[in-house]
């Protein structure tokens, strides 16, 4: 017993030590029970006044609008409107997300707002940005709880500041109590992952994207906080999964004045979350300070040095380009350059050009404005020249009428000469075709026929005299358009989904002109679901010439559509190309239940739920399935309630294979024409799936699945109907090591008790034996005095026998052993009974 008592005292001492350790307040936390000075907090020396610590038990009178306890508060009646009081928490440097929760209240006698409680986060001892969380409305005398998720990243320092701002000099109080700084994310408020810097070129749009982890934030306020400016509202939010979402913030056409630090903030009534500061870096696209330098001049070329080492704006330079044009013309050409010098070829003789340099840095919009121009002129050619141009008098789809300028002596330098016109073009199969025709110099027009429609025909005039041969520059003339050929059927690519078809195509092999539009007609020709109305006649979509794909939306699932596409030029439409495409079927729709509508009844081994028919989308419903999922705390939970169980698993297969779920029943659509109750665990079989009784000691989730199938695909929709909790406590299997140790201890104690009882019994037997022998001896003496000598002799003989019989060790052993055994059984029974109770 002493050993058991010692063990019990040791356990109490251990529990006391663990309790003291677990009750320690984390670093930065404070309950204000010992005052403000014990909290490692600091009053802001640059505010208007300080927060006040109050302990209501130490004051003779406390305003009835203040709660009992020890906390920090501000009496707004003592200060002017707009004045502020701040106190600062210790600096946080850990590279992690911290959760800071606290109690607060805003109280006043007339129920109006006494002011504003703001929470600010300062980074690296920088300036204070706008609050990440605030409250203004009257809260009453009861404490409210809020929490802040602050994401910190080394080597930055973060400091949380509580600020009370007076908005009304009437009587009122702002109070804070029980601040806890926890080194893990908050339970209710989402926390942001690391926000990275954004670098863009001036004049472009910048986008910050914040990734946050936490619960649903559909009612939260999201904004991008600028350190030295106005806040920016969220532009777009997107749920990544049930625990994570992304928020995007857009800044349009940023300039150098927009460079600053930005961070993401989310706020709700329950709390707030704030990310780290990230920088917006705005780069100015580069442009040269000086114009290019001229190194060499020829009749048809200019050699220049870019002179692009000195620039305005930001580097690095990833692309250099030369932009040039005739000063008397309207066209402009641009050439990429990868060396310090560049030669411009194929220029017109004796022509003035304007040349500029363009520089580009990385990123969209990284090309700067053109640098200062270099204006120069090419050299003149020899007096003999070729005609400058060919004049196109008339152009048709398959012929060209060509005129040429009058040739004088100043051009030919000869009275006899021949003029030849040559042309070439590329056929549809990328073959080059060329020919030359002799012309009468006195006839200024010639027809070039048998040409393909809408084809670039390159023409040039050749001037020949006895001294030499001169060729004019090539003139590229395009023949007129014709109706286009069909869109290539092999280029049609269709990608269907449930309600859309994405169609892509390529331009006709023989466009015969400029494609001005595409026309696509579509209509339904077949449906898996007979209730879906087919569109007859079909609908028509007109698309621009640059279109190469189109998305058909608002289609019916499981319907085969006939698509016909044709192209058009200015001359009309060409032949159409047809393709049949079938949309995917959709998963059936199961209406959500209101509250506990799905739960009807529950016993220890069954649960009755309400099954509602689903609505088919694209294909009729082929089956309903009731799925039972065993909820095991040690097993990883499902990612989302919408994840359906596609593989049918029977109860026996789940038991032998370790599956966390099994099909309890499969029903045909005719079995569920209207909402009907169904008992999970009724020990019946439904289409080959046994519905066994549920284990009372286990937790279950019950799901309804609706399945639609075609030859090509199967879609399933599922909905959790109810959750059954265990009705009995699970068996606790003791630790074998502890059980063995306990048995050894009890066996030792039992052996000691038995030895002690045995010694006591032996001593009692010895004392009783001596008393019995003495009594018998006294009786024998008295008998000898009263009897005669004869009788005494006889009595002596009998007394001797009686004495011998009384001292027979076998007799004593029998009696004593009989009494001993009874006592031992009694003692043993009490010992084991006490052991069982213990």
Asked whether the predicted pLDDT for residue 833 surpasses 60, the reply is: no
Radius of gyration of the chain (CA): 50
Nearest CA to 520 out of 543, 537, 499, 498 is that of 543
Q: What is the rounded average pLDDT for all residues in the chain?
A: 81
Tens digit of pLDDT for each residue in 358-415? 999 998 999 999 999 999 988 765 557 676 667 788 888 888 888 777 776 557 656 5
Percent over 90 (pLDDT), the chain: 38
Contacts of 22 (CB under 8 A, 6+ apart): none
Q: What is the DSSP string of 593-605?
A: P-TTTTEEEE-SS
Q: Which residue has the higher pLDDT, 760 or 14?
A: 760
Mean per-residue pLDDT, 78-107 = 91
pLDDT of 635 reads: 59
pLDDT tens for each residue of 187-211:
778 888 888 899 999 999 999 999 8
Do the Cβ atoms of 353 and 347 come closer than 8 Å?
yes
CB 433 within 8 A of CB 425: yes
Output b/e per residue, 529-556; b: 16+ Cβ within 10 A. beebeeeeebeeeeeeeeeeebebeebb
Of 206-220, 227-241, 487-501, 648-662, minimum mean pLDDT range: 206-220
* Averaged pLDDT, 67-85: 92
Over residues 712-732, the pLDDT tens digits come to 888 899 999 999 898 865 544
Region 564-573: what's the mean pLDDT? Answer: 92
Confidence (pLDDT) at 383: 53
Confidence (pLDDT) at 270:
80
Greatest Cα-to-Cα distance within the chain, rounded to the nearest angstrom: 203
Model pLDDT for residues 585-606, shown as the tens digit of each residue: 888 988 888 878 888 899 989 9
Q: Which of 467, 460, 415 is nearest to 441 (CA)?
A: 415
Peptide bond into 347 cis (omega under 30): no
Q: How many other CB atoms sit within 10 Å of the CB of residue 217?
A: 19
In this predicted structure, what is the pLDDT of residue 734? 47
DSSP secondary structure, 306-364, as one string: ---SSEES-----EEEEEEEETT-S--EEEEE-SSEEEE-SPPTT-EEEEEEEEE-SST
Confidence band of 481 (pLDDT split at 50, 70, 90):
confident
- What are the structural domains of the chain? 37-182 (2.60.120.200), 194-283 (2.60.40.10), 287-377 (2.60.40.10), 390-478 (2.60.40.10), 489-584 (2.60.40.10), 587-724 (2.60.40)
Instruction: Tell me: pLDDT of 798 over 70.
Output: no
pLDDT score at 398:
83
Q: pLDDT-derived band of residue 807, with 50, 70 and 90 as boundaries?
A: very low
The stretch 238-262 carries a mean pLDDT of: 89
CB 122 within 8 A of CB 66: no
In 10 A of CB 771, how many CB atoms?
Answer: 9
Better pLDDT: 670 or 801:
670
**Phi, psi torsion values for 403, nearest 5 degrees:** -115, 160
pLDDT band with cut points at 50, 70 and 90 for residue 743: low
Question: What pLDDT sits at residue 18?
Answer: 33
CB-based contacts of 834, cutoff 8 Å, min separation 6 = none
- Confidence band, pLDDT 50/70/90 cuts, at residue 470: confident
Mean pLDDT of 567-590: 91
On the question of a cis peptide bond just before residue 155, with omega within 30 degrees of 0, the verdict is: yes
Q: How many helices (H) and strands (E) does the chain have?
A: 6, 56
Q: Which pLDDT score is estimated for 768?
A: 79
Q: How far apart are CA 796 and CA 789, in angstroms?
A: 10
What confidence category does residue 527 fall into, taking pLDDT thresholds of 50, 70 and 90?
Answer: confident
Q: Of all helices (H) and strands (E), which one includes residue 493?
A: strand 493-496
Query: By three-state DSSP, how is residue 633 classified?
Result: coil
Cβ proximity of 363 and 201 under 8 Å: yes
Tell me the per-residue pLDDT of 284-325, one tens digit each, with 9 for 90 and over.
Answer: 999 999 999 999 988 778 999 999 889 999 989 999 999 999
* pTM score, whole prediction: 0.43
pLDDT (average), residues 63-89: 91
What's phi and psi for 714, nearest 5 deg? -135, 135
Q: Which pLDDT value is given to residue 641?
A: 45
> Would you state the pLDDT for residue 789?
42
Write the DSSP symbol of residue 609.
Answer: E
The whole-number pLDDT of residue 249 equals 93
């Amino acid at each position: 017993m002493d050993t058991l008592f010692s063990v019990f005292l040791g356990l109490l001492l251990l529990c006391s030590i663990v309790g003291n350790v677990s009750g320690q307040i984390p670093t930065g936390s404070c309950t204000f029970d010992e005052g403000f000075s014990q909290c490692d907090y600091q009053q802001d020396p640059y505010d208007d006044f300080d927060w006040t610590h109050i302990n209501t038990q130490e004051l003779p009178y406390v305003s009835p609008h203040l709660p009992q306890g020890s906390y920090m508060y501000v009496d707004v009646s003592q200060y002017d409107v707009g004045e502020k009081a701040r106190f600062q928490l210790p600096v946080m440097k850990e590279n992690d997300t911290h959760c800071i929760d606290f109690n607060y209240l805003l109280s006043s006698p007339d129920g109006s707002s006494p002011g504003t409680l703001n929470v600010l986060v300062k980074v690296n001892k920088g300036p204070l940005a706008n609050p990440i969380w605030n409250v203004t409305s009257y809260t009453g005398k009861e404490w409210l709880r809020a929490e802040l998720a602050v994401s910190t990243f080394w080597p930055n320092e973060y400091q949380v500041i509580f600020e009370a701002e007076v908005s009304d000099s009437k009587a009122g109080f702002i109070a804070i109590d029980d601040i806890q700084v926890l080194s893990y994310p908050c339970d209710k408020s989402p926390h942001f992952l690391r926000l990275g810097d954004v670098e863009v070129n001036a004049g472009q749009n910048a986008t910050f994207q914040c990734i946050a982890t936490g619960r649903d934030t559909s009612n939260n306020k999201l904004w991008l906080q600028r350190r030295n400016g106005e806040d920016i509202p969220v532009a777009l939010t997107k749920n990544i999964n049930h625990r994570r979402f992304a928020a995007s913030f857009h800044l349009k056409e940023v300039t150098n004045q927009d460079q600053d630090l930005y961070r993401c903030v989310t706020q709700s009534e329950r709390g707030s979350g704030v990310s780290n500061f990230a920088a917006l870096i705005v780069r100015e696209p580069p442009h040269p300070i000086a114009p290019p330098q001229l190194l060499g001049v020829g009749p048809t070329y200019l050699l220049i040095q870019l002179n692009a080492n000195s620039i305005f704006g930001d580097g690095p330079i990833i692309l250099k380009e030369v932009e040039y044009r005739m000063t008397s013309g309207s066209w402009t050409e641009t050439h990429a350059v990868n060396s310090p010098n560049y030669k411009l070829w194929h220029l017109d003789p004796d022509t003035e050009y304007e040349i500029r340099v363009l520089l580009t840095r990385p990123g969209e919009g990284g090309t700067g404005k053109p640098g200062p121009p270099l204006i120069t002129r090419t050299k003149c050619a020899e007096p003999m020249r070729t005609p400058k141009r060919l004049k196109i008098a008339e152009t048709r789809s398959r012929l060209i009428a060509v005129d040429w300028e009058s040739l004088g002596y100043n051009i030919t330098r000869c009275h006899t000469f021949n003029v030849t016109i040559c042309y070439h073009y590329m056929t549809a199969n990328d073959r080059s075709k060329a020919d030359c025709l002799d012309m009468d110099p006195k006839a200024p027009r010639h027809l070039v026929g048998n040409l393909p429609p809408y084809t670039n025909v390159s023409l040039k005039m050749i001037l020949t005299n006895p001294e030499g041969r001169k060729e004019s520059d090539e003139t590229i003339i395009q023949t007129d358009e014709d109706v286009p050929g069909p869109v290539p059927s092999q280029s049609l690519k269709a990608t269907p989904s449930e309600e859309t078809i994405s169609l892509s195509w390529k331009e006709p092999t023989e466009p015969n002109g400029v494609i001005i539009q595409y026309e696509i007609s579509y209509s339904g020709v077949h449906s898996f679901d007979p209730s879906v109305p087919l569109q007859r006649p079909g609908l028509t979509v007109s698309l621009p010439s640059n279109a190469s794909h189109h998305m058909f939306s608002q289609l019916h699932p499981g319907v085969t559509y006939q698509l016909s596409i044709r192209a058009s030029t200015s001359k009309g439409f060409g032949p159409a190309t047809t393709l049949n495409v079938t949309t995917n079927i959709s998963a059936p729709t199961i209406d959500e239940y209101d509250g506990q509508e799905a739960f009807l009844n529950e016993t220890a081994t069954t649960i009755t739920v309400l099954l509602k028919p689903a609505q088919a989308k694209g294909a009729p419903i082929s089956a309903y399935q009731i799925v039972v999922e065993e909820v095991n705390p040690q097993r990883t939970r499902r990612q989302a309630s919408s994840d359906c169980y596609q593989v049918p698993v029977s109860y026996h297969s789940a038991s032998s294979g370790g599956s966390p779920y099994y099909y309890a029943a499969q029903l045909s659509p005719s079995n569920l024409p209207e909402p009907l109750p169904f008992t999970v665990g009724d020990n019946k079989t439904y289409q080959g799936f046994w519905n066994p009784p549920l284990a009372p000691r286990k937790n279950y989730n019950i799901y309804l699945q609706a399945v639609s199938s075609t030859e090509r695909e199967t879609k399933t929709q599922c909905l959790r109907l109810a959750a059954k909790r265990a009705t009995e406590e699970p068996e606790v299997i003791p630790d074998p090591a502890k059980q063995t140790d306990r048995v050894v201890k009890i066996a030792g104690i039992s052996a000691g008790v038995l030895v002690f009882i045995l010694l006591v019994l032996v001593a009692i037997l010895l004392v009783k034996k001596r008393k019995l022998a003495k009594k018998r001896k006294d009786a024998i003496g008295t008998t000898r005095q009263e009897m005669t000598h004869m009788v005494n002799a006889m009595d002596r003989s009998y007394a001797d026998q009686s004495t011998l019989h009384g001292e027979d060790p076998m007799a004593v052993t029998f009696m004593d052993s009989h009494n001993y055994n009874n006592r031992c059984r009694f003692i043993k029974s009490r010992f084991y009974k006490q052991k069982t109770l213990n």
